[in-house]
Structure 1
Amino acid sequence: MIRKNAIINRLWDRKSMICLFLVLMTFAIFYRLSGYDFVNFDDDLYVTANSRVQKGLNMENIVWAFSTTDIANWHPLTWLSHMLDVQLWGMNSGRHHLVNVFFHITNALLLFLTLNRMTGAPWCSGFVAVLFALHPINVESVAWVAERKNVLSTFFWMMTMWSYCQYAEKPVRVKYLAVILFFMLGLMTKPMLVTLPFVLLLLDYWPLKRFRFAAASVSGQSHFKADIKSHCIGNSHQSDVSSSDSSAFQNRSFLSLIREKIPLFVLSAFSCGVTYLSQDASGAVRSLEVIPLTSRIANALVSYVGYVGKMIYPLKLAVFYPYPAIIPGWRIAGAGSILITMCYLSWKIRVKHPYVLIGWFWYLGTLIPVIGLVQVGSQAMADRHAYIPLIGLFIAGVWSVSEFLKVYLSRYKLIPIVATLLIGILFMITWKQIGYWKNSATLFQHTIDVTTDNYLARNNLGNAMVHLGKNDEAYQHYAEALRIKPHDANAHYNMGILLTTKGKLDEAIGHYKAAIRSNPYLKKAYYNLGTILQQKGSNAEAIINFLYALRLDSRFAEAHNNLGVLLAQQGKINEAAAHFLMAVSLKTNYIAAIKNLQKARSDMRRID
C-alpha cells in the first residue's frame, strides 16, 4: 500500500511538472501578442468593422448570433465569444489576442491530460502536448483574432475527448450526455468538429482498446503504460496507477460502438448540412466550373503531403497560399504514392504499433472537411487547418520514436537532451513566426516574401499602406494584385476606393463594376458605385445599386439613407421617410439620417 501511494505521488508530481512547463513555455512565447494589432484580414469582419460585435453582449445580439449565417458559417458561440471580448476589453487588440493565448494553453493542457488518462504515459503525452503548443504552424490559429473559432472549438474538442474517456471507463448516461453537450458546443463554434465521432472510433481501437478484437490483438498492453523508471514506456507496475488499464474499459463489438455514437453522427450530419447551405448561399463555395473536380483531387493529394512537409520543415509559413493554376503531374503522382504507402504501412504494423495507424488516420480524417474537395474560399491550403489534424501525426511520431529508443537505445540520458534540443529549435522558429503577426504590413510583406504571385497578400498590403497614408504604394500593390489575378473582386473594389479619393471617378466606376461582376455578393461595391453615380447625377442607376446593396444586407444604414435622399428628390416622401427611419433605427447616432428624417417629416406635414 505504501509503495502504491509513493508511485501515485511521484506520478502526480510528474503530471504537475509537465502542466507547469506547458503553461510557462507557451505563455512565454505567445505573451508578446498582447502588444500586437488587429490585422486587415477577417479581423474586420469578426470584430473591428462588425457593428453587432462592437455593441457587446445584449439580448438582441445573442438572438442574432444564433440566427445569422454571416461570413458563410453558423457559429453562434464564436460570435458570443467576440462580443464578450468587446464587453470586457473594448477594442484593446492585445486583450483579444491574450484570450486566444489562454485557449491555446488550455487546449495543450487538456490534450496532455486526456492522452495521459487514456495511455498512462505522461512523458509521451506531455511531449505531444509540447509539440502542439509550440509548433510554428499553430501560430496562425493563436495570433489571428479572427481564428478564435479555431482555438475555442478545439477547447470543446478536447473537452469532448476527456468526457468520452470518462464515459469509456464507466458507461453511464450522465457521462454520455456530457460528451454530447461538449460536442454540440464545439459544432456551434466551428463545424470542423464534424469528424470527431470518427476520431472517437479510432481511440476506441487505441489506446482505449474498446474493440473486442482490438483488446485481444493489439499487443503489448504494457507498451502504453508509463513507468516511473522510463521516459514513456513501462512495465507492469503502471497498472497500479493508471486508470486506463484495459480492464477499465468495456470491450464491445464494432457495431455496438457505431450504434453508441449515432447521436454524434446525426449532429455531424446536421452541422454539415447547415454549413454547406450557409457557405453556398454566401457564394463562398466554388463551383466545379471555377475549380474542376480533377483539380480539387490533385490539390488535395498534394496538400496532404504538404502539411506533413510543413510539420517537419516549418519555414516559409504564410497566412495565405494561392490556389495553383497548374500542378505538375509528378507532384500529384508522388503525393498519391506517399499517401497510399503510408496507409498500407500503418495498416501492416497495426498490431504491434497501433498508434501509427490511429495517428495517421486521425490526420487523414480530420483534414477531410478542409482539404478542398468541397472548395470554400480560394486558398490551396491553410496553416490553421492543421491545428487539430497534426495532433494525430504528433501522437504517431512521439510513440514511434519512444518505442524505437526503448528497443534500440539503452542510454536514456540522451532522450531529454534530444527533446530539449528539439523544443529549443521549435521555440526559436515559433518566436520568429509570431513576429510576423505584429500588424498587417509585416504580415503581408512576409507573405509576399515567402510565396509566389500572391494576389491576396498584395491586396491586403495595399490596404495596410492606405491605412498608413501611403497611397502611391497602395496603388502599386493593387495594380500588382490585378496583374496576377485580373478578376479579383477585392482588388478592384479597393482600387475603386483609392481612385475615388484621387477624384478619378470614371476609373473608379469601372473598377466597382468589375468587382461586382467577379463577386455579386459584394454589398459595399454596390453602395460605393451608387454613391458615385448619385454624385454624377445618374440617379436611376444609383437607386438600382442601393437596392442591390439592401437586398444583400437589409441592415445597411448608409444605403437606406442614400436611397431615401434619391427617393425624396423624386417626390416619394413617404418611401424616403421609411428609409431614413430605418437608417436611424440601425445607427442611432447617424446625424445625416436624423436630419433627413426630420426634413422628410416636415415635408409630409406641409403636404398634409
Structure 2
Amino acid sequence: METQGESKDSRVQAIAGRLHPAWVGVLGALLYLPTTRYGLIRYDDPWLIRDNALLHHFTWDGIRRVFFDLSLEQRLQLGAEYLPVRDLSVMLDFAIWGDRFAGHHVTQVLLYAGLCALAATLVLRLFEKRALAWWVGVAFALHPVHVEAVAWLSERKGVLGGLLFFGAACLGVRYLRVGRVAWLAGCLLLFAASVLAKGHMLGGAAALAMCALWCADAPSQRRWALGASAVVLGALVFVPIYVAGQSVGMVQPYHGGGFLQTLALSCTVHGKYLLLMMLGGPYSIAYPVGADFANVGLLGLGLLGLLVFAFFTVRAVFQSSRRSAANFGLGWWLIFLAPVSHVVFPLQNLLADRYLLIGSWGLLLVFGVGVVRLPSRGAWVVGLSWLVASTTWSVTQLGHWESSRALRLHAVSVHPSHVESWHRLASQAEEEGKYEQAEAYVARGLEQAGSATDRWRLYHRRALILEKQGRVDEAIRWMRAAASQPAAHKAYANLGLLLARRGEIQDGLEQVRRACEYQPRSVHNQRAHGIVALEAGEVDEACAAFAEARALEPFNADNHFNLGLCELRRGDQRASDKAFEQALELRPNLAEQIDQARRSVLR
C-alpha cells in the first residue's frame, strides 16, 4: 500500500515527467530579476560600455570595425580583445535600450535564462533521464558562482558565449542521434559564434568531441565528423583572437615565473574552485590566493581533485563501459578548467567566479547523478538542502553587486589585502568629493600593500586626492613617489601635468615624454604629453601627441578638439577645421567652445 509521502513523491515525479527541464530557465530569470534595477559597476563597465562610442550606434560601419578591423587602436577600444559577437550584442542593446542600463541587465538575465534552459536540455539529450536533467538544471540556475557573470554587464561575453555553446552542444547531440547535416552545420555555426563571444569557449571543441565519444550508439562517421570538425573550426576561429591578444599585450607572462610555481598556482586555484562549487563561500571578486606555496590545504585539495578527476576521465575515454554521466561531468569540468588554470594560458586574474560559468555544469552533473541515485526521500532532503543553501548564497552575493561601493567593501572584507579594491574605493570617494574618506581608504590600502606596485598605485591616488583639494605641492611630492617604475607610466604623465601647473614646464615636459616612452598606447599619456608640450611652445610635438591620442581613441570628441586647437596654433587652418568638424560630429554641443578657441588663437 502506498504511503502519503510516497504518494506525494510520485505526484512530483509525474509533474516533472510532463514538464520539460528547460523550464529551469524561468527559475534563473526570477533569481536575477533584482539586477534589472542595477546600473553600471565601476569595474570595466564605464569604459567598455558607457563611454565606448563605437558600440552606441548599430551601423554597417560599426559592424565592419568590430568584425574586421584588427588594428591596435580598434582592439584597445574594444577591451584589448577580439570578441565581435559580444560587441555586436552590446550594439544591439544600445539600439534597443539606449543608455538605459537597466535594460541591458534585462538582456543579461534573458540570456542567462536561455543558458540555464539549454544546460538542462543538454543533460536530457545526452543521457535521456528527465529527473537528472531537472536536478542539474535547477542546481545550475541557482549556483552562486554564476552571480558575477550575470550581475556584471562587462561579463556579457561569458553568458552569451555559454548560451551559444550549450545551443551548439544540443544541436551536436541531435546530429549524432538523427544524422541530418543541417544539425551539424547549426552546431558548428553556434560553436564558432560562442568562441567569438568568449575566447575560453575554445575548450568547447574538446567538449563536443567528448559528446561524440559518449554517444556510443551513433555511427562512427557522425562521431568523427562532429569531433574533428569542431577541433579544426575552433582552432581556425581562435586565430584572430590570439593574434589580437598578442598585439595588445593581453597574453601575459606566467605568474611567478617558474613552471613548478605555475603548477602549484594551478592546483591552489583548483582547490579554491572546488570549495566554491561545494558552496564554501563567501563569494567575492577577490580571494586571498597567491602565486606561491602558502596555502597548502588548497594546493593539496586541488592536486587530489585533478588526479582523481583525470583518472576517471581518462579511464572512461579508453573504456567504453566506464562512460557514465558522472565521468562525463568530470571530463567536462577538466576541459573548461584548462583555459583558466594558468597552465595553458596565463591570465590577468588569478581566479574569478566568472571563469566557472560553463565548467560548473560538469560538477553539477556529478551532483545530480549522486542525488538521483539516493532513495527518494533522501534525494529530496539532500537536493533541497543544497538548493536552499545555494539560493541563500546567491541572493547574498547579488546584494553586493548593487553598487560599486558595496562590491568593493565586500571584497576587502573577504580579502583585506586586496589593494585594488582599496584603490577603487578611494577613487570613488574622491570623485564624490569625500576627500577624508578617500584618504582613509588609501591609508588602509597602504597598511596592506606588500609590493612596490601596490604602493605606487596608492601614492598616485593620494596625489590625485591632494590635487583635487588644491594642495599642489603635496600632490607633486606624492606623485614623485608614485613615479617609480615603468608600470607607473600614468603617474609620470600626471606628474608632468602637475609640474606644468606649478610653472615648471621643462621638468613637466620631461616627465610626460617618459610616460609616453614607457607606455605609448595610453591615451591619457599622449593627451598629457600634448598639453604640456603645447604649453612649452613645442607645437609640432604637441600636435603629434594629440594625433596619436586621437588614433588610439577616435570616438572621443576631446581628442579631435585638442588636435584641432593644436593645428590652429600651428597655423594649419585646414587640418584644424577638419579636426573640429569631427569633434562636432561626435559632440555637437562643442560648437561654442570651438568658436571661443578660434577667436582666442586668431586674436
TM-score by length of 1: 0.78
Q: Residue 7 of structure 1 corresponds to which residue in structure 2?
A: none
Kindly report which structure 2 residues correspond to 1:490-505, keeping only aligned pairs within 5 A, or say none: 490-505=457-472
Shift of 1:375: 5.8
Question: 1:287-307 CA deviation, whole Å, 9 max, x = no partner?
Answer: 358543222211111222221
**1:175-190 matches, cutoff 5 A:** 175-190=183-198
Contact 2:122/2:169, CA 8 A, preserved across alignment:
yes
Q: Which amino acid aligns with 1:85?
A: D
Q: Which residue pairs with 1:63 in the alignment?
A: 64
The answer to whether the 8 Å contact 1:321/1:379 transfers is: no
Check 1:158–1:493 CA distance in 2 against 1; reply closer, same or farther (3 A cut).
Answer: farther
Superposition deviation, residue 438 in structure 1: 0.8
Which residue in 2 is equivalent to 1:450?
414
Residues 1:311 and 1:554: Cα distance change in structure 2 (over 3 Å):
closer
Matches within 5 A, 1:441-480: 441-480=405-444
TM-superposition CA deviations, 1:167-196 (whole Å, max 9, x none): 212334433222221121111111111111
Q: 1:326 to 1:417 in 2, by over 3 A?
A: closer
Contact 2:205 2:230 in 1 (8 A): yes
Query: For residue 536 of structure 1, what is the aligned residue in structure 2?
Result: 502
Identity of aligned residues (%): 20
Aligned to 2:5: none
Q: 1:205 corresponds to which residue?
A: 213
Alignment-derived partner of residue 396 in structure 1? 366
Q: Deviations over 1:541-598 (max 9, x none)?
A: 54566567778677949945862673475374x6766777888975447767656655
Q: Does 1:299 align with 2:255?
A: no
Matches within 5 A, 1:125-524: 125-206=133-214, 208-209=215-216, 246=217, 249-251=218-220, 257=223, 260-270=226-236, 274-288=240-254, 290-324=256-290, 326-328=292-294, 330-331=296-297, 332-345=299-312, 351=321, 354-373=324-343, 376-402=346-372, 404-405=373-374, 409=375, 412=376, 415-416=379-380, 418-483=382-447, 484-485=449-450, 486-488=452-454, 490-505=457-472, 508-509=475-476, 520=487, 524=490
TM superposition shift of 1:413: 5.2
Q: CA offset at residue 603 of structure 1?
A: 8.7
Deviations 1:483-511 (A, max 9, x none): 42431364444334223213344554565
Question: What is the deviation of 1:514?
Answer: 6.4
User: Structure 1 residues 297, 128: CA separation in 2 closer, same or farther (over 3 Å shift)?
Assistant: same
Residue number in structure 2 paired with 1:232: none
Q: Please give the secondary structure, in 1, of the residue aligned with 2:99.
A: coil
1:95 corresponds in structure 2 to: 103
Q: Which SS does the other structure have where 2:350 is aligned? A: strand
User: Contact 1:550 / 1:556 at 8 angstroms: preserved in 2?
Assistant: no
Change (3 A) 1:104 1:571: closer
Does the 8 A contact of 1:46 with 1:82 survive in 2?
Answer: no
Rounded to whole Å, the distance in 1 between the matches of 2:131 and 2:248 is 46
Query: C-alpha deviations, 1:332-379, integer Å up to 9, x for none?
Result: 345323432343356668735622221112111211111122564553
Classify 1:334/1:434 alpha carbon distance in 2 versus 1 (closer, same or farther; 3 Å): closer
Most deviating of 359-368 and 36-45 = 36-45
Are the aligned partners of 1:77 and 1:189 in contact in 2 as well (CA < 8 Å)? yes
Q: 1:471 to 1:46 in 2, by over 3 A?
A: same
| Alpha-carbon shift at residue 58 of structure 1 (Å) | 3.0
Residue 73 of structure 1 aligns with which residue?
81
Contact 1:36 1:438 survives alignment (8 Å): yes
Residue 197 of structure 2 aligns to a residue whose secondary structure is coil
The one-letter code matched in structure 2 to 1:536 is R
SS across alignment from 2:453: coil
Q: What SS class does the counterpart of residue 69 from structure 1 fall into?
A: helix
For residue 46 of structure 1, what is the aligned residue in structure 2? 48
Partner Cα separation in structure 2 for residue 289 and residue 18 of structure 1: 42
Contact 1:492–1:512 (CA<8 Å) still a contact in 2? yes
TM-score between the two structures when normalised by the length of structure 2: 0.79
Instruction: For 2:480 and 2:63, locate their aligned partners in 1 and report how far apart those are by CA, in whole Å.
Output: 36
Aligned length: 546
Alpha-carbon distance, 1:382 to partner:
1.0
Shift of 1:417: 5.2
Quick one: which of 525, 534, 537 aligns to 1:570?
537
